[in-house]
Each structure stands twice: as C-alpha cells, then as structure tokens.
Amino acid sequence: MAIENPFNGILKTLENPDGSVFGKYYSLPALNDPRIERLPYSIRILLESAIRNCDEFAVKAKDVEKILDWENTSPKLVEIPFKPARVLLQDFTGVPAVVDLACMRDAMNRLGGDSNKINPLVPVDLVIDHSVQVDVAKTENAVQANMELEFQRNRERFGFLKWGSSAFHNMLVVPPGSGIVHQVNLEYLGRVVFNTNGLLYPDSVVGTDSHTTMIDGLGVAGWGVGGIEAEAAMLGQPMSMVLPGVVGFKLIGKLRNGVTATDLVLTVTQMLRKHGVVGKFVEFYGEGMSELSLADRATIANMSPEYGATMGFFPVDHVTLQYLKLTGRKDETISMIESYLRANKMFVDYSEPQVERVYSSHIELNLSEVEPCISGPKRPHDRVPLKEMKADWHTCLDSKVGFKGFAIPKEAQAKVAEFSFHGSPAQLRHGDVVIAAITSCTNTSNPSVMLGAALVAKKACDLGLEVKPWIKTSLAPGSGVVTKYLAKSGMQKYLNQLGFHIVGYGCTTCIGNSGDIDESVASAITENDMVAAAVLSGNRNFEGRVHPLTRANYLASPPLVVAYALAGTVDIDFETEPIGRGKDGKEVFFRDIWPTSEEVAEVVQSNVLPDMFRATYQAITEGNATWNQLSVPEGTLYSWDPKSTYIHEPPYFKDMTMSPPGAHGVKNAYCLLNFGDSITTDHISPAGSIHKDSPAAKYLLEHGVDRRDFNSYGSRRGNDEIMARGTFANIRIVNKLLKGEVGPKTIHIPSGEKLSVFDAAMRYKNEGLDTIILAGAEYGSGSSRDWAAKGPMLLGVKAVIAKSFERIHRSNLVGMGIIPLCFKDGEDAESLGLTGHERYTIDLPSNVGEIRPGQDVAVVTDAGKSFSCILRFDTEVELAYFDHGGILQYVMRNLIHAKH
C-alpha cells in the first residue's frame, strides 16, 4: 500500500519578492546533505523527482539515497525509478500510442475492468508534425499544396488523433502544419518549471522520438524512449532506468568568424562518439557557455542520439531566461522559474564562483578550434572538414563498399550520364547533388543558420548564380516563426529565387519524406549506376533513409546546403575551385558568398522578435480550417473499421488473460536474420516509402489501395498488418544468410528457399517454430522506433543475440517480451563459428523469481556448440514485464487488480 511521502518534512513555501506565494516545493537544500552541491545538475532533476514521488511502493526512500550517493552508485549500474513530468508524442508514434490506449480500453471492458481508468495520468503533448511529403517544391504556394495533399492522404489518421484528444483526458493535440514537434516543444510546450495545484517541480519529459533531447538545450531533462515505454509512463508507471554516468563537457573560447552552430554540432558529435557516451548523460559547462545562444545549445542537444548519449544537458542560466522572454513566455512565469530553480540549487549563475561538480569523465573543447565541416556519406558522426571534402569524396569512390566507400572502378569514376531534362540537354556525374534540403528540427531551430542561409542566397543572387533546375531544393522550417523572420528581413525572396521555397512545417527529407525526384534524373542515376548525392541540414543520413536513389548523403549547415546546391556537386574544393560563373562571366568562389558572423548577428538581432512567437502559437491554439472541420466519432471506445488500411486493432491483448504467462526460454529456434555491426532502427523498422514489390505493397493492392495512394510506412503506423510486413524491409539491409546480396530477403533454413523476411517469418510461425536474430555491435542504434520492437515480435522473434545494443532499442525489445542477450566480451557469432543455419536453445527458468538481471545464460545449438551470453534484462522491473509478456500487459493487470 502507498503511504504518505516520507519527505513531506522538506516541503517549503516559495514566496514572490512582492510577498505573494508561488507555491510549495520539495527543497533539496533542506535535506542538509553536502553531497547535493557536488551532483551534476541533470542528476538533481532525477533526485527531485524521486523525492516528490516517493511512496515507498513504486518509488522508495532507498532510491532517493541511491541518487544522492550518485558519485559512488553510478559506476555500479544501480537501478532507479523515474517519473517524468510529461510525455511528448508526434503523430507517427502518437497514432500507435493512441491505438494501444484504445485497445487497452477494449481489453479492460472484456476482462471486467473499468475502461475509463485507461487515461494519461501525466500531461501528454501530441504534435502532428511528420506530415510533409515534399511533392510540391519549387513554387510559392508549396505549403498550401503539400498540406492539402497531406490532408487527403491522412484524413483518417488525423481524424483518429482528433478523436483521441477528446476521448482521453490530459492529452493536448497540436494540429498538423504547426511545426516540428521538437521546435514546438522548445518554443511553446516546454514549461521549464511546472506549477500544478500549487506544487512546483522541474519540467522533465520523455518523448517517442529520439530527438526529444532537443529540449535539454532549454534546461528541461528530456530524452527519447520507445512508444512502449512512453505509453507506460503516460499510465503512471515509473520508468526503470540505470542511474547514468555523467560526462562533463567543458566549453571554452569562442567560435571563429564564419563557423556555424552546425559545424560545432558535427564536431561535438564526433568527439562524443569517440569518447563513448552510450547510456550516459552529457552535461555542458564552462566559460564558453556564454558564447552559445539557446538555439545553438538546442542544436547540440538535438543530436544526442547521433553521439549516443541519453541526453546532452544545458542547465538553466541567464541565456535560458532570455530565450523564454524572446519566445513570448509571460514575465511572471519567468520570474517563478528563476525563483524556484535558484531556491532549489538548479540554476547556474556564471557571475558567481562555480562549485566544482563531480563528473564520471571529462571532455573539453575550445570553440575557436571548430572548423567548417559536413558529415557523411552514410553516418552522422563521420565528420569531414570542408577543406578535405574533395579528397575524402575520391577516397569514398575508391574504397570498398562500406560506411565510407562505394567501390566505383577507377575507369568509371569520370563517367558522364547524358540525359534530357524537360527538353534541355543535361549531365550527371558521380557526386552530383540531386537533393538539397534545408530540413529537420536540428537546424531550423536556429535563426543564425537559417538567416545565414538566406544571406548566402542573397549574395549568390546578387552575383547572378543559379541552381541547376533538376536539383530538388526545399525549405521546411521547424516553426512558423521562421517564415515571419525570413519575411521581415526581406530574405525569403532570395531563397525562393534559388528554388528554396517553403514546402511545409514538419519533418521532410531527413525522415525520407523527400518525395520523388524528376523521372529523367531518376533514370539517369539508375541506368548509369551513378552515385548521386543529397545534402541536407538534418541529423540523419543512414543508407536508404533520405531517398532510395541518393547513395551519398551529407549533413551540412543550412548555408552550406545552399552552397552545395549552387555548386551542384560534392566533388569540389571550395577553397580553390569556383562554385560557378556570375552574370558578368567571372568565376565566383565560396568566399564570395559566405557571410561573416557579424553580418549574421546583425540580421538576427533586428528580425527575430517575441511578437512573432506569440502570434505563431496563438494560431496553433485556434487550429486551422481543415483541422477544425474534421468530423470525428464520439464516445470513449473506438469503433474499429475492419476495412481500414490506416487504423487497425493490433493483436497484443486479444488472448490476454488475468494470469501472467510467466517467463520462458527458447527451444530449437531458427535464425531469421544474421547481421553484422551497426544495424539501425532504420534497417529494422518500417520507414519511408513503400516499395512496389514489397509484402506491404502486396497487402495494400489486395485491399484495393492504388499504388499512388500507398503513402509512407510512417503514415500507416496505426496498422500492424502493414508494419509487420515492412519490418526488415529496408532495401540496403545486409543479411549474412544471403552471402553478400543486399536487400530485404532471407533464407528459410528448413527449405533453403530465399523469401522476403515477412514471408519467411510467417512460414516459421505457421510451422510452429520460434526464431531468433543474430547481430553485431550497436544493434538498434538510431531513432527510438517502437515498431523496431513491435515488428519483430509480430514476426515471431523470441530473442536477439547481439554484441551490444543501443539503449532505447534494448528496452523496447524487453517491453515487447523479446529476450535481449549479449555475447561475452571478445566473442561474437563469427568467433564462435555460428553461421545462422543452426537451431538455438536458450535455457531460462519458467519461474521469473529464479532469474537475475544481467545473469549468464547458456545457449546451445543443434550442431553441438554451447556458449554463454549475458541476459540483458537490466532491472527487476524489466523481469516483471517479461513475466507478464510485455510492459502494457503488466500495466493492464495492475490497473485491473487495483480496481479490486
């Protein structure tokens, strides 16, 4: 039974300077514990949450002590519970979350429980943002045209979410066309400090997109979790997490003239990947902090998944308060935030002497050493200094196929593909740019790089430079505010002149919503086997993600995206080679169009104003005509349409009983897929367009959906039939069972037949056979996609044996009842002589009480091999989820028992 909070003795009243009362709060200084002063600020947020939620049931006083003693406990990987203040969803992950809540209500009804108990217990902010497929690009009315197309395609999905906003309490839905979820979170939703019924506490958030970390730039602790974990958090479950180590990242100095925040981010990303920060917090500090705007901080925080950290945290200071004022937050709210954080030792005042905090490890960067750079051609942490880009490109052409290689024979590297573009002769070479997109939350948060891109466009237009007409250019701001300051500065017209029209407000090219490139360009690429390039100001450039036909994908700052679009190729040395010829016939170089830091600062200062934020977010609360006219069903139980190819009732709770199924091992399982290192959730989870020959396409055609109406996997995340068929359907996936062949196929071992992964999995299931997956290091890196765990579960996968897992994906596998195992250090499938043609038995007790987190487990094959693996259930709570068959089943049974 829950008891009164044992820490109620440290509840203090916080007074306004004028004598009025802000509210009560749990005071960390009132603990009189000298360890608090030495704690990183990010850990203090975990501490406050544990104190405030302590009920000696879900959160215990001993958990508080573990966090207080962080200096000694964090190296021991102790488990703690964490209850975030709120949950953030976007529509691609929001749809399955609302689907699951609706299913849980149905199951509660069936099992005799109170279905109205299925309601979010913490505020849930759902932003519909992944809804801009770039169909219409080079036109003034692109936004309107794309939005109309999105409403046509996604009316059912939008309607379902609108139903959810009224069916479930505590759920705010931000309509489509408002901006990218992380930008809306930063500018509007982020509270920094909550005041709920007179109780003050720090804002903290878990979100279903891995880039939820962007909010850490605002001093709000936030990170990405799988949709499965987020749903449990919504229902009041504490998240079980290992108390993380904290890497202290000291910043000194100042960025040089002409160096952008993006250059800094790509440098930080590479440094932290090298340092090794998976599962850790990174906390930034040092005198260099005063040189970083809030937008710069948010850009660094956003890239946490790319450097592998749980979050990159910037404690609240004067820069944070200035940003809150800029973005239209009320003065009294800002005053409350500052007073509370100062009173509770969570505010950094750089004008005061700094107490030395303890960190698990240290890293330092002098900002003056950062140089212009881009990352690619296939991974975000493969940074290339701009001055080395041409040489690096030629090395990539030469090198064998891999993260930095395309294996183009020497004699073919100078090949020219001739084609006709709308009646005019055109040419394509290796490295030519066919997509140039200013996109994604990473950079469109940042006025300095957005207006910097506009200044590059202005200088280029003044000199008479043009972008080749077949390059697909686009601009997708994260917020409507960008439109306002581009218009006020008079700069949008220059971007338009070069083809960078605004196409919409949401995730576009970075998530694979780049739309089609011109047919003549596509044919020239495929018929001549050209390595075409995309340059985007996003955060992800994994293979096959941006567009199936761009084998080289580079991350760059918005100004560099414009520069590369003008050059038309990545095969250029900007220092020595001209970008093009101006209207006077003279050569124009990169230095001729690149703005100084002073020029950028001046245009930012005079054109980014608080009223723009207030007006933009006032419009959000009012919705838009198309959204407001959507008619939705009433009632708290959803009426499922069996014919729908968008919203489908998944089978998770169909056969659920009141008794947990218990723990289980795996017997004589076949290997469905055998992978090497760095298999990302982009490889596993359905994403991007639906290939015409795929099992998902076959399903849609059988259900009367025309090919032009396939839409994307993301838009169909509410239909498990399509998502299961799209699992492991990435065209660039490499499965060792195929012996060098690339693509979404596998070998059905008993028959030796080569089948699509889905068809092979269904054959095993129909034969009553279990399957496992073998994998290398960093299995499941990338986005926090719940379907990367839901999909394998629906395919019948019972266990994954890998060298190592990315944090979020491992916990998602646990949440779906899949057993995660790690090879012992120094061992992997290859060193153990495993081919994937064996049958695997994993010996686990049927009584969960006999299993320990992290214990050794024996794996035996039918070929007589036996080896030991580490069981990666990391906490007792995860073992409870496994016992129940998954996290949602655990929550459901607890809610039903609570009724009685």
Residue after which a domain boundary falls, among 184, 212, 233: 233
| pLDDT of 2 higher than 70 | no
Predicted confidence (pLDDT) per residue in 303-344, tens digit: 998 898 999 999 999 999 999 999 999 999 999 999 999 999
Nearest to 686 by CA among 773, 775, 757, 734: 757
Residues 34 and 125 in one domain: no
User: 359 CB contacts (<8 Å, ≥6 apart)?
Assistant: 40, 246, 247, 248, 283
Show the 3-state SS of 647-710. CCCCCCCCCCCCCCCCCCCEEEEEEEEECCCCCEHHHHCCCCECCCCCHHHHHHHHCCCCHHHC
CA distance 791 to 728: 9
Q: Nearest-5° angle of CA 300, CA 392, CA 427?
A: 105
Residues 22 and 120 in one domain: no
Q: Does residue 124 form part of some domain?
A: yes
Average pLDDT, the chain: 92
Residues 73 and 100 in one domain: no
147 phi/psi in degrees, rounded to 5: -65, -40
Cα 802 to Cα 68, 115, 186, 347, distances in angstroms: 34, 39, 36, 41
560 is in which domain, residue-wise? Answer: 373-615
Residues 90 and 66 in one domain: no
Name residue 239's beta-bridge partners: 82
| pLDDT of 499 higher than 50 | yes
CA distance 462 to 441: 29
Residue 524's CATH number: 3.30.499.10
Which of helix, strand or coil describes residue 518?
coil
Per the CB < 8 A criterion, the answer to whether 192 and 342 are in contact is no
Predicted confidence (pLDDT) per residue in 208-247, tens digit: 888 899 999 999 999 988 788 888 899 888 888 889 999 9
Task: Give me the count of residues in the chain.
Answer: 900
Q: What is the largest CA-CA distance in the chain?
A: 84
Q: Does residue 787 form part of some domain?
A: yes
CA distance 737 to 743: 11
Residues 714 and 736 in one domain: yes
Say if residue 377 is preceded by a cis peptide, omega within 30 of 0. yes
Q: Does residue 632 form part of some domain?
A: no
pLDDT, residue 160, reads 93
Which of helix, strand or coil describes residue 583?
coil
Extended beta strands in 16-156, E state? 21-26, 79-82, 86-90, 124-127
Give 56 or 24, the one with higher predicted confidence: 24
* % pLDDT > 70, the chain: 98
Cα 462 to Cα 455, 458, 466, 833, distances in angstroms: 10, 6, 10, 64
pLDDT, residue 380, reads 87
Q: How many CB atoms lie within 10 A of CB 530?
A: 23
Per the CB < 8 A criterion, the answer to whether 441 and 303 are in contact is no
Residue 475, Cα to own-chain centre: how many angstroms?
Answer: 20
Per the CB < 8 A criterion, the answer to whether 494 and 454 are in contact is yes
Predicted confidence (pLDDT) per residue in 548-566, tens digit: 999 999 999 999 999 999 9
pLDDT, residue 445, reads 66
144 phi/psi in degrees, rounded to 5: -60, -45
| pLDDT of 900 higher than 60 | no
pLDDT, residue 784, reads 57
Residue 118: pLDDT band (50, 70, 90) is confident
| pLDDT of 346 higher than 60 | yes
Residues 74 and 94 in one domain: no
Residues 229 and 161 in one domain: yes
Q: Among 21-30, 60-69, 631-640, which stretch is predicted with the lowest mean pLDDT? A: 631-640
| pLDDT of 440 higher than 70 | no
Residues 607 and 679 in one domain: no
Q: Does residue 204 form part of some domain?
A: yes
Q: Which residues of 580-618 are buried (b: 16+ CB within 10 A; e: fewer)?
A: bebeeeeebebebbbbebebbbebbeebbbeebbeebbe
Q: Does residue 458 form part of some domain?
A: yes
Give 653 or 725, the one with higher predicted confidence: 725
Extended beta strands in 725-865, E state? 745-748, 753-756, 771-774, 797-802, 819-823, 839-842, 856-861
| pLDDT of 191 higher than 70 | yes
Residue after which a domain boundary falls, among 615, 631, 656: 615
| For residues 67-74, average pLDDT | 97
Among 178-182, 252-256, 538-542, name the most confident range: 252-256
How many separate domains does the chain show? 4
Residue 683's CATH number: 3.20.19.10
Q: Does residue 591 form part of some domain?
A: yes
Q: Among 11-20, 147-156, 271-280, 281-290, which stretch is predicted with the lowest mean pLDDT? A: 147-156
| pLDDT of 709 higher than 50 | yes
| pLDDT of 800 higher than 50 | yes
| pLDDT of 276 higher than 70 | yes
Show the 3-state SS of 523-535. HHHHHHCCCCEEE
| pLDDT of 87 higher than 50 | yes
Q: Does residue 277 form part of some domain?
A: no
| For residues 746-759, average pLDDT | 96
Residue after which a domain boundary falls, among 580, 615, 650: 615
| pLDDT of 897 higher than 90 | no
Residue 74 identity = S
Predicted confidence (pLDDT) per residue in 121-161, tens digit: 999 999 987 667 777 778 777 988 888 888 888 888 899 99
CA distance 597 to 279: 35
CA distance 197 to 621: 23
* % pLDDT > 90, the chain: 71
pLDDT, residue 416, reads 96
Per the CB < 8 A criterion, the answer to whether 434 and 470 are in contact is yes
Residues 388 and 398 in one domain: yes
Give 188's DSSP letter. Answer: I
193 phi/psi in degrees, rounded to 5: -135, 135
Residues 76 and 90 in one domain: no
Residues 702 and 585 in one domain: no
Predicted confidence (pLDDT) per residue in 450-472, tens digit: 999 999 999 999 999 999 999 99
pLDDT, residue 510, reads 76
Q: Does residue 630 form part of some domain?
A: no
CA distance 858 to 870: 9
Predicted confidence (pLDDT) per residue in 672-681, tens digit: 999 999 898 8
| For residues 766-787, average pLDDT | 89
| pLDDT of 443 higher than 80 | no
Q: How many CB atoms lie within 10 A of CB 151?
A: 18
pLDDT, residue 130, reads 63
Nearest to 455 by CA among 477, 486, 476, 478: 486
Residues 69 and 113 in one domain: no
Predicted confidence (pLDDT) per residue in 613-648, tens digit: 999 888 887 878 888 888 888 889 999 999 999 999
Reading the block at residue 483, the tokens are 């439109």
Q: How many CB atoms lie within 10 A of CB 310?
A: 28
